[in-house]
């Protein structure tokens, strides 16, 4: 199977690298308004699923019952990078929730960001499950199990009641039948679901426009969790990462996943876009998304500039000398959202 080129990278004006992929945009009628490539291709959500996986938490009164701050609750949807303010919040959550760190199924890890990782190693500290980027998600899973009377044993198994609940929520949000959704195992050990790229975009459309969600309890949960993501955007990734940059805008709901998956919705415009970079690169996300927003004449020019600053359209060597440039290779001039 061949894929369209999304990004070209040049060195000395010679093509050095290409990034291929698929993109799908949907409107508030949940219909494809624009696409590059096969939007029916199944794609694993990876960590882009975290807002959906957190919905059971927000369907309960766990946050109020255990007096979590909204900042702490944002970590249920996060791929945290191990910054001190994130680890401090996770430690606070451990002190409040009926969860022990050793119960988390995710593997002991070092922080993802270079500075806190180096500090942990320099201080001779060991890897911790709390440092794993999915720790908040797993704390939510365990707490929900105890709140709803589910067994905590093997909460990560696909046939566990909690994972089945999440599967059924995803089916509703993505307009899929449960038996159409494919299941794998994510990096942190829990089920990860694959759906067509178009349905992934539909799912995020409903996160951005919860009035499209028929189930009242799911709708209320989505309103609460997306508000936490927007108000505490740095908890979702950390400073100078694309999720936190996009979520600075109250008009955007966004979450990326491993292996090049990214989804975002524009609330006022009532549109949503899902994309997959086929070589798994996350580096080119800002280039692709900035280009999409620019081409559809998105009103927030500052956001487009923020994205360009995350990954400028040029290539420098280790000494900071300009040695090449980056070009977007897709056109969305027929993308009639706005």
- pLDDT tens digits for range 39-72: 999 999 999 999 999 999 999 999 999 999 999 9
Over range 238-247, report the average pLDDT.
96
Reported as a single tens digit per residue, the pLDDT across 187-196 is 999 999 999 9
43 — phi, psi (to 5°)? -135, 135
β-sheet bridge partners, residue 261: 257, 276
Reported as a single tens digit per residue, the pLDDT across 169-181 is 999 999 999 999 9
User: What is the pLDDT, as a whole number, of residue 335?
Assistant: 52
DSSP string across 68-109: --HHHHGGGG------HHHHHHHHHHHHHSS--GGG--SPPB
Reported as a single tens digit per residue, the pLDDT across 103-140 is 999 999 999 999 999 999 999 999 999 999 999 999 99
User: What is the pLDDT, as a whole number, of residue 2?
Assistant: 86
All domains in the chain, ordered by first residue: 4-65+158-183+190-328 (3.40.710.10)
How far is residue 14's CA from residue 19's CA, in Å, rounded to a whole number?
Answer: 15
pLDDT tier for residue 334 given thresholds of 50, 70 and 90: low
For residue 338, pLDDT beyond 50: no
82: left (phi over 0), alpha (psi -120 to 50) or beta: left
Over range 302-330, report the average pLDDT.
96
Reported as a single tens digit per residue, the pLDDT across 81-95 is 999 999 999 999 999
Helix residue ranges, H only, the chain:
50-53, 55-58, 62-65, 70-73, 84-96, 114-122, 135-148, 161-174, 197-208, 216-231, 233-236, 242-247, 285-295, 301-310
Of the candidates 129, 90, 82, the residue with the CA atom closest to the CA atom of residue 108: 129
pTM metric for this prediction:
0.96
3-state secondary structure of 12: coil
Reported as a single tens digit per residue, the pLDDT across 256-312 is 999 999 999 999 999 999 999 999 999 999 999 999 999 999 999 999 999 999 999
CB 288 within 8 A of CB 33: no
Structure tokens at 97: 């929730």
Average pLDDT value for the chain: 96
User: What is the pLDDT, as a whole number, of residue 332?
Assistant: 80
How far is residue 293's CA from residue 300's CA, in Å, rounded to a whole number?
Answer: 9
User: What is the pLDDT, as a whole number, of residue 333?
Assistant: 56
Within the chain, what is the greatest distance between any pair of CA atoms? Answer: 62
Structure tokens at 37: 């490539």
């Amino acid at each position: 199977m061949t894929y369209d080129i999304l990004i070209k990278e040049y060195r000395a004006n010679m093509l050095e690298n290409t990034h291929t992929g698929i993109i799908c945009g949907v409107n508030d009628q949940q219909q494809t308004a624009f696409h590059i490539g096969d939007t029916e291709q199944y794609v694993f959500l990876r960590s882009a699923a975290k807002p959906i996986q957190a919905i059971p938490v927000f369907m309960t009164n766990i946050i109020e019952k255990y007096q979590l701050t909204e900042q702490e609750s944002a970590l249920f949807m996060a791929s945290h990078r191990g910054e001190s303010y994130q680890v401090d919040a996770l430690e606070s959550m451990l002190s409040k929730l009926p969860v022990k760190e050793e119960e988390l199924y995710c593997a002991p890890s070092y922080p993802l960001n270079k500075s806190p990782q180096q500090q942990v190693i320099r201080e001779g500290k060991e890897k911790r499950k709390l440092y794993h980027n999915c720790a908040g998600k797993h704390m939510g899973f365990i707490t929900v199990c105890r709140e709803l009377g589910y067994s905590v044993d093997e909460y990560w198994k696909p046939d566990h009641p909690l994972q089945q609940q999440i599967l059924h929520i995803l089916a509703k949000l993505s307009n899929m039948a449960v038996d159409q959704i494919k299941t794998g195992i994510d990096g942190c050990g829990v089920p990860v679901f694959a759906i067509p790229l178009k349905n992934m975009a539909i799912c995020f459309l409903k996160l951005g426009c919860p009035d499209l969600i028929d189930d009242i309890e799911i709708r209320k949960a989505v309103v609460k969790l997306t508000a936490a993501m927007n108000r505490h955007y740095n908890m979702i990734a950390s400073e100078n990462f694309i999720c936190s940059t996009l979520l600075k805008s109250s008009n955007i709901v966004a979450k990326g996943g491993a292996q090049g998956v990214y989804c975002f919705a524009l609330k006022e415009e009532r549109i949503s876009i899902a994309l997959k970079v086929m070589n798994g690169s996350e580096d080119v996300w800002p280039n692709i998304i900035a280009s999409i927003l620019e081409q559809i004449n998105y009103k927030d020019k500052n956001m487009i500039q923020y994205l360009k600053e995350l990954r400028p359209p040029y290539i420098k060597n280790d000494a900071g000398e300009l040695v090449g440039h980056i070009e977007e290779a897709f056109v969305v001039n027929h993308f009639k959202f706005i």
